[in-house]
Amino acid sequence: MARLKRFQYVTKDQNSILQDTIARLKQIYGENTWNDFEEDNVGRMLIEAFAYDSDLLLYYLDRQANEAFLTTATERQNILNHSKMLGYTPKNSTPAQAEILVSLEKTQDYDITLPAGTLLYTQQGLRFETQTDAVIIAGELSSTTTALEGETFTEVLGVSNGEAWQNFYISRSGVLNIVDVTINDHTWELVESFAEEDSASEVFTAESDAWRRVEILFGDGNTGKIPEADERIYITYRVGGGIVGNVAPNTITQLRDVATDSQGNTIHLNVTNPDWASGGSEPESNESIKLWAPRYYEAQERCVTKQDYDTFANRYDGIAKAQTIMDEEALKNGEANIVHVYVLTYGDSDNTVALANETLKYNLKTYLNKYKMLTDWIEVHDGKFSNVDFVGALTIAKGFSSDSILAKVREVLNTFMSIDTRDMGEALRISDVYSVIDNIEGVSFVELTNPSETITPDSDELLVLGNINFSVNVT
């Protein structure tokens, strides 16, 4: 099916409306009745004001037509609304995860425990929380734990008024996940929809908008219980996420809380992350939502085909890119259908990738197992990625700035090589590179020295943007 193009139902601009209006006035009133057409006349001023307002209204009509379709919408909130209608939940930002080494300067006679939930910091103040207890056994010097970027908060969400469809907004934006919601010491359950709930169901929904504000909604007494009037609603949630959490080794070194031994004595501990933190990612981009929301709708919550596996793997939090390869030989031999899923996670800066850690790969496999066919066997592997450097010479027209042209080249190449829209195994055609650079206003000629020919990666390999280095000549 052909992709929808941007609509332009109305081709008139301010000047054409102005000229048409003047011609119409002359036709209706004649040359002598209305003749205020000179630019310094009051009549001309009124006509120009009418043309301006008409042009503005027609522009808004075109914008509304474009926003009515997922593929042509540009406003983030409208894109989220379209994806919701398809049952697709865009990926939230994910927190980076780091392995933490906890150590002592000298051995102790008692076990030392750094409890789960302890806040750790980088020198720049970025916060991480330990996920498990780190116990240094008596006589030993170190132990390990894992930490997630972000911080947990508990607050009063609001007070119930006893009415149906009560909604509240969490005070902080950038919520990663909701830990729990409690009312009168009862923990209420987060659900995707009230459709299958009854009047006794203690449930709520949560929905994030384009500004990453999260709305909590309760039921109407028929589909979902109404919180009792005057009851306080408490919520615990985590805030954080993004590529900023993918910090370098030995940067998580600050410890806010003090540790104690099994006798309650205060102990000084050293903490650090020996390796890079990984897995932090930004919220799903608009282009990625447009690509994957229709595919998710087609999959109908089951993994049968290669495209189904690609869809579910690529929408999993923390996965930057995934590629599925079916084991055809196993099928021919009558064995189980072995599904090989190759994955990459997000790198430490925008539009970059890295190898996924074992925890992320295990969690993805567990997630895919919920939707697979009974005879499928899933294996998750590391994908590959290769940096492509763009080197060449540009000839630009007079009147254009070299710096602005080079900035535009970087912008179009960054979009062209975006990890959101480029697939593993997708070839980089040299003609496409010439095309995107040639289309930049002010570029008269481009000559590439690298890449010099079409690059065809392996099926489990992603081509990503490397260095950009162009010389500039002015005609």
231-287: pLDDT as tens digits: 999 999 999 999 899 899 999 999 876 666 667 677 889 999 999 888 888 899 999
Report the pLDDT value the prediction gives residue 260, as an integer from 0 to 100. Answer: 66
Alpha helices by DSSP H, listed for 36-185, are: 42-67, 76-85
Task: Give 192-201 pLDDT, tens digit per residue.
Answer: 899 999 999 9
CA distance 16 to 11: 9
Q: In this prediction, what percent of the chain has a pLDDT beyond 70? A: 95
Examine the pLDDT at 5 and tell me if it is beyond 80: no
pLDDT band of 300, cuts 50, 70, 90: confident
Report the pLDDT value the prediction gives residue 1, as an integer from 0 to 100. Answer: 39
Examine the pLDDT at 10 and tell me if it is beyond 60: no
Instruction: At 212, list the tokens.
Output: 């990453």
Q: Are 214 and 170 in contact (CB under 8 A)?
A: yes
Report the pLDDT value the prediction gives residue 11, as an integer from 0 to 100. Answer: 56
CA distance 267 to 286: 49
Report the pLDDT value the prediction gives residue 455, as an integer from 0 to 100. Answer: 96
249 phi/psi in degrees, rounded to 5: -60, 150
Segments making up each domain of the chain, as ranges: 14-68, 97-150+243-272, 152-239, 286-382, 387-474
From residue 151, give the alpha-carbon distance in Å to each of 121, 230, 240, 252: 11, 29, 7, 14
Report the pLDDT value the prediction gives residue 335, as an integer from 0 to 100. Answer: 67
Task: Give 42-85 pLDDT, tens digit per residue.
Answer: 888 898 999 999 989 988 888 888 899 999 999 999 999 999 99
- Which residues share a beta bridge with 353? 346
Task: Give 106-155 pLDDT, tens digit per residue.
Answer: 888 888 888 899 999 999 999 999 999 999 998 999 999 999 999 999 99
CATH topology of domain 286-382: GMP Synthetase; Chain A, domain 3 (3.30.300)
Examine the pLDDT at 15 and tell me if it is beyond 90: no
DSSP state letters, 310-338: HHHHHTSTTEEEEEEEE-HHHHHTT--EE
Q: Is 95 left (phi over 0), alpha (psi -120 to 50) or beta?
A: beta
CA distance 37 to 328: 76
Type of residue numbered 117: G
Examine the pLDDT at 298 and tell me if it is beyond 60: yes
Report the pLDDT value the prediction gives residue 41, as an integer from 0 to 100. Answer: 83
Mean predicted lDDT score pLDDT of the chain? 90
Examine the pLDDT at 30 and tell me if it is beyond 80: no
Examine the pLDDT at 211 and tell me if it is beyond 60: yes
Q: List the one residue out of 370, 443, 365 whose CA is nearest residue 404.
A: 443
Report the pLDDT value the prediction gives residue 145, as an integer from 0 to 100. Answer: 95
Report the pLDDT value the prediction gives residue 272, as an integer from 0 to 100. Answer: 96
Instruction: At 108, list the tokens.
Output: 């102790």
Task: Give 326-379 pLDDT, tens digit per residue.
Answer: 887 766 666 678 999 999 998 877 788 999 988 889 999 999 999 999 889 999
CA distance 80 to 194: 19
For residues 397-417, give the mean pLDDT.
92
Q: What sign does the dihedral 185-190-191-194 (CA atoms) show?
A: positive
Instruction: At 291, list the tokens.
Output: 């690509």
pLDDT band of 162, cuts 50, 70, 90: very high
Q: Which range, of 203-212, 215-224, 334-343, 407-416, averages the lowest pLDDT? A: 334-343
For residues 99-109, give the mean pLDDT.
91
pLDDT band of 6, cuts 50, 70, 90: low
